[in-house]
C-alpha cells in the first residue's frame, strides 16, 4: 500500500477565515477529511502535517523514510522564496507534487515564480481543495 505524505505550509491552518475570496471557505480540517476519504478510495495511506516555519517543513521532508512513495506539498508563500525546501525535496528523491489552492498566475507577479516547484514532478494550481486530490490520485497510481 502506498504511503503519501501531505504537507500544508504556512497560514494554511487559517483556511476558512483567511481571504475566502482567494482560498475559499473550507477549513484545513475539511480539506484533510477530503484527502483522507480520497486516500481510502485509492487504497493508499496518507500522513498529513501542517507547519508554519520553513525549518519545520525541511525537517518533515528529511524525516520521511523509504516507506514513503510520494509527497503532496503546498509550501504556501515559501514556494516563492525557499531554496531550503527545494533542496530538501531534491535530496529526498521522493516524487513530490506541489499544489496551490489558488491560480498563482492570476495573482501578484511575485507569486508566479515558484522556486520549490523545481523539486516537484508536477504542479497543480487553481482548483481549490481539488488540487490536493488530483495530486494524490497521481501519486497513488503514477503513469510517468
Cell 501519486 locates to: 139
Residue 87 CA, distance from chain mean position: 16
**Residue 139 contacts residue 72 (beta carbons within 8 Å):** yes
41: phi then psi, degrees, rounded to nearest 5: -60, -35
Question: What's the count of helices (H) and strands (E) in the chain, helices before strands?
Answer: 5, 5
List active site positions. 23, 100
Q: How many CB atoms lie within 10 A of CB 14?
A: 13
The CA distance from 54 to 9, in Å, is 8
Is the distance from CB of 94 to CB of 70 less than 8 angstroms? yes
Amino acid at each position: 500500500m502506498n504511503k503519501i505524505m501531505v504537507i500544508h505550509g504556512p497560514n494554511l491552518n487559517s483556511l476558512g477565515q483567511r481571504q475566502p475570496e482567494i482560498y475559499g471557505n473550507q477549513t484545513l480540517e475539511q480539506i484533510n477529511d477530503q484527502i483522507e476519504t480520497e486516500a481510502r478510495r485509492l487504497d493508499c495511506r496518507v500522513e498529513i502535517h501542517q507547519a508554519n516555519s520553513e525549518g519545520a517543513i525541511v525537517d518533515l521532508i528529511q524525516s520521511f523514510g523509504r516507506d514513503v512513495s510520494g509527497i503532496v506539498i503546498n509550501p504556501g508563500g515559501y514556494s516563492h522564496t525557499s531554496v531550503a525546501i527545494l533542496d530538501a525535496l531534491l535530496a529526498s528523491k521522493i516524487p513530490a507534487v506541489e499544489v496551490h489552492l489558488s491560480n498563482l498566475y492570476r495573482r501578484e507577479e511575485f507569486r508566479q515564480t515558484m522556486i520549490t516547484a523545481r523539486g516537484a514532478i508536477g504542479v497543480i494550481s487553481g482548483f481549490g481543495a481539488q488540487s490536493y486530490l488530483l495530486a494524490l490520485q497521481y501519486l497513488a497510481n503514477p503513469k510517468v
